[in-house]
Amino acid sequence: MLLKTSLRSFYAHKGRMLLSMIAIVLSVGFVSGTLVFSNTATSTFDRLFASTAPDVLVTQTPVKKNAGPRQDGAATLTVPASTVTQVAAQPGVKTALGQIEVGNATLVNPRTNRAAGPAGGAPARVGAWVPGPRTPLKITSGGAPAGGRQMMIDADTAARSKLGVGDPIRVINSFGTFDYTISGIATFDGTNPGAALAFLDVPTAQHDLLGAPDLFTSVAAFGNGGVPDSQLKRTIATTLGSGFDVQTAAEQKAANSKDVGSFLNFMKFAVLGFAGISLLVGGFLIVNTFSMLIAQRTREIGLLRALGGSRRQVNRSVLVEALLLGLTGSTLGLLAGLGIAQLLIGLMGSAGMKISSSLEIDATVPVASYTVGLVVTVLAAWLPARRAGRISPMAALRDHGTPADGAATRIRTVLGLALGIGGALLLALAAANGESAAGGAGLGLGVLLTLVGFVVLGPLLATGVIRVLGALLPRLFGPSGKLAQRNAMRNPRRTGATAAALMIGLALVTGFSVITSSMVSSTNAQIERSVGADYLVQANQTGVTAAMVAAAKGTPGIDHITEVVNVLTTLRTPDGQSQEISVTAVSPTITQDYHFPVRAGSAEAVTAGDAVSVDQDFAQAHHLSVGDRVTIDYGKGHTQSVPVGLITTKGNTLFDKQFYIAVATVGQALPADQRPAAGALLGKAAAGADKDRTYQALQDALSAYPQLDVKDQSAFKELYQQRVAGLLNLVYGLLGLAIIVAVLGVINTLALSVVERTREIGLLRAIGLSRRQLRRMIRLESVVIAVFGALLGTGLGLAWGVTAQQVLKSGGLQVLTVPVTTIVVVLLLSAVVGLLAALLPAFRAGRMNVLDAIATD
């Protein structure tokens, strides 16, 4: 009986539940799509690594664990050719191949003087063509490189750069500039991991890429099938001794999968953020939908109670309807997720990383999808279901439902005020404590409490705020305006729940807008205060070569060029602790390019003497003072003890967690052939020189090196703003989704209220209200609700953003900037959103037949 009643009620109101179902579909779709995409991408790369990895791979052990398997500073890690012979002679080894692959070379199309590398920041890998048992490429055009001036490239790079067999191609690295002719095109059998690949013959690769013959970057060993990989690894490692890193195929796969996983996780969590927003905002929509449906079915539920139905049965009946809604929405969301996964795969393909189009769906996908959809829906419907169970049989005799519960209103008021005031106090304490554990915890808890408090107080605030917001409506729009204002105030609980969805979205975007605007303003202020250099030259993974430095220094109008070199070291402090850090080695002219924020000591002690700088937090953590000595270990036995010459003040992102040392000081301990290439150059125009003309001359001088990025101070600021804009665009995307779901909520609320007020609308039409006035009434009601939610969200967002800026002030967010234009635009757009959301309900209301509406029971 209970199930039959629930099914009939669900099918009778399926149209009214449609918009709530869309919110569930969106939420579940993002969850399932993310999981399917992650599974597909992971399995794609797992298959690639499993099918291409040799049974055992031998490389030189990096000096520092974070240096990677190929490069350690300037020198490419290599193994001697004799290693190939040694590995091949081991029992169980069928084939041993010497391989060459480097990531510190730039591929250039000479015709366009542009890098021929991949899109999306993926690296270019240049090496030797050594086909083996598990080569992932096959030659599809032309032939393999033969002779010193031939190169083969992969098909995706050829298509992207519009290169073909016989075209010229160039490589720029630390050994010089080398020109080749494309001899062939190779195509991946399966997945292209995204990198641009180029191949030379072995002798040419050794000379041009490694600078010496009889060297390889790795040795790939393939077993004869009679010895396990683990045993083969032990045998090879024992024979070669120390200085070599030996990995089995499984270990290679795990290491490669970890590198890929770190990139995929960013996309995964970003998309799950959209799912979280959909779930949060959709929950309000579901609560509102069931609350209104129960209000409309008061007489029906009262009759069920009069016929013997218990509170528990009525409660279960509503929850079964919610279960059906969640089940249907989750199923559709699971299917929608497949489309979202395909969309993400397409986005990866456009960035140069091709992922299998055969989707991987394991048991976690449907389990997570149905768990999310059903749990959220049932939880959201629990309160309305509980309220339905409290309807008495006598409600069947009334036309307008049960009277308001004064006790519940008082409890809501007390609870809302307690949460809101408590949250506000926590935000104030967080701002006072700044960047500390108490400040961070206070900010997080304060945001949560104020959000919940405003959601609880929403219905109570609705009456007063809308009375003010709608005060002009009767004067401007006559009877339609007056009715719209009263309708919005008539059911404050419904109005508050409808506005809450918009409030959450706008609170998030306003808060993040304040933070990101403050980040940009603070960084610009820091650049103006701390950077004296006029120009910045940045290189990609290839580094800045001596020829590039010479070209920059020879630019007319340049006063000086400062080299900036990052050296991976281990720093040992007097307290006995060791930490792997990157020390920035700089030329003495750095004091003209950077104005160091001095806490203690001086910048000259670092650049002119044998000293190192540390930041304030590091000094406090290790109890360091100026003059205390630390030990810098560069690896391979190269160490030096130097004093602390400068402690930089924290709160400047250019110097926090940065350690500076003079290039000459590094040269005392580290041989020239082991020093990394400069990663960037800082330049300053000569006194009296035209800075713009010198900037153009510097760009022209370095135009032969497309891998270099030359910027002046204004361009450097724009670069940082673009990085912040990327984060802000993600936030705006989340806001857009929240607004979409919120609009669905407004549409649903108005549509259900139109049904609820069918007889009232018929009577209004009967006494002279025109169709136009009726539609205007509904549109104005929607606009007032939307603006109400927008005002609450903007106020919350401003409180969150200002508090976050105060908490992070000592960490560099020193300038508070409130984006007034953005906030005003968002408020205006909220009114537009309310207007658009009312179009369909207003149209349907206007089409009602007057007599049928009056006769509605």
Range picked from 121-125, 172-176, 312-316, 492-496 for highest mean pLDDT? 172-176
Instruction: Please provide the distance, in angstroms rounded to a whole number, between the alpha carbons at the two ends of the chain.
Output: 25
Q: If you compute the radius of gyration of the chain from its CA atoms, what whole number of angstroms results?
A: 34
Tracing tokens 């990995």 back to the chain, one arrives at 247
CA angle at 712 for the pair 707 and 714, rounded to the nearest 5°: 125
Dihedral over Cα of 69, 70, 73, 77: its sign: positive
pTM of the model: 0.72
pLDDT at 299: 67
Structure tokens at 828: 């205006």
Interval 106-113 mean pLDDT: 90
CB 702 within 8 A of CB 483: no
Q: How many CB atoms lie within 10 A of CB 319?
A: 21
Least confident of 356-370, 479-493, 726-740: 726-740
In 469-574, at which residue ranges do the beta strands (DSSP E only) sit? 535-538, 558-572
Label the pairing between strands 106-109 and 168-173: antiparallel
pLDDT at 401: 46
Which 3 state secondary structure label does DSSP give 271? helix
How far is the CA of 29 from the CAs of 217, 274, 347, 713, in angstroms? Answer: 45, 10, 17, 44
Nearest to 376 by CA among 416, 343, 333, 419: 333
pLDDT at 73: 41
In 649-740, at which residue ranges do the beta strands (DSSP E only) sit? 659-662, 680-685, 709-712
In 8-92, at which residue ranges do the beta strands (DSSP E only) sit? 56-60, 71-72, 75-76, 79-80
Least confident of 225-239, 305-319, 572-586, 691-705: 305-319
pLDDT band for position 47 (cuts 50, 70, 90): confident
Separation of alpha carbons 744 and 800, rounded Å: 26
CB 670 within 8 A of CB 633: no
Q: Is the model's pLDDT at 817 over the cut of 80? A: yes
How far is the CA of 52 from the CAs of 250, 423, 826, in angstroms? Answer: 11, 56, 52
Query: For residue 641, what are the β-bridge partners?
Result: 631
Q: How many CB atoms lie within 10 A of CB 793?
A: 31
pLDDT at 123: 66
Instruction: Phi first, then psi: give them for residue 215, nearest 5 degrees.
Output: -130, 145
Separation of alpha carbons 776 and 144, rounded Å: 74
Q: What are the DSSP calls for 477-503, one per residue?
A: HTHHHHHHHHHHHH-HHHHHHHHHHHH
Structure tokens at 436: 């500390």
Q: Is the model's pLDDT at 13 over the cut of 80? A: no
pLDDT band for position 831 (cuts 50, 70, 90): confident
CB 791 within 8 A of CB 465: yes
CA angle at 710 for the pair 706 and 713, rounded to the nearest 5°: 165
| Length in residues, the chain | 857
Least confident of 600-609, 672-681, 714-723: 714-723
**Residue 278, C-beta contacts closer than 8 angstroms, at least 6 positions apart:** 23, 26, 27, 30, 737, 738, 741
Separation of alpha carbons 724 and 196, rounded Å: 28
Interval 97-106 mean pLDDT: 90
Q: How many CA atoms lie within 13 A of 205 on its CB side?
A: 27
Nearest to 400 by CA among 299, 287, 497: 299
How far is the CA of 411 from the CAs of 405, 406, 415, 492, in angstroms? Answer: 10, 9, 6, 15
Q: Is the model's pLDDT at 652 over the cut of 90? A: no
pLDDT at 71: 41
Q: How many CB atoms lie within 10 A of CB 308?
A: 8
pLDDT at 72: 39
Instruction: Phi first, then psi: give them for residue 88, nearest 5 degrees.
Output: -65, -25
Q: How many CB atoms lie within 10 A of CB 350?
A: 10
Task: Encode pLDDT of 339-352 as tens digits.
Answer: 888 887 887 766 66
Q: Is the model's pLDDT at 437 over the cut of 90? A: no
pLDDT at 6: 58
Separation of alpha carbons 39 and 345, rounded Å: 11
Separation of alpha carbons 718 and 606, rounded Å: 31
How far is the CA of 127 from the CAs of 67, 69, 118, 156, 719, in angstroms? Answer: 19, 15, 16, 17, 32
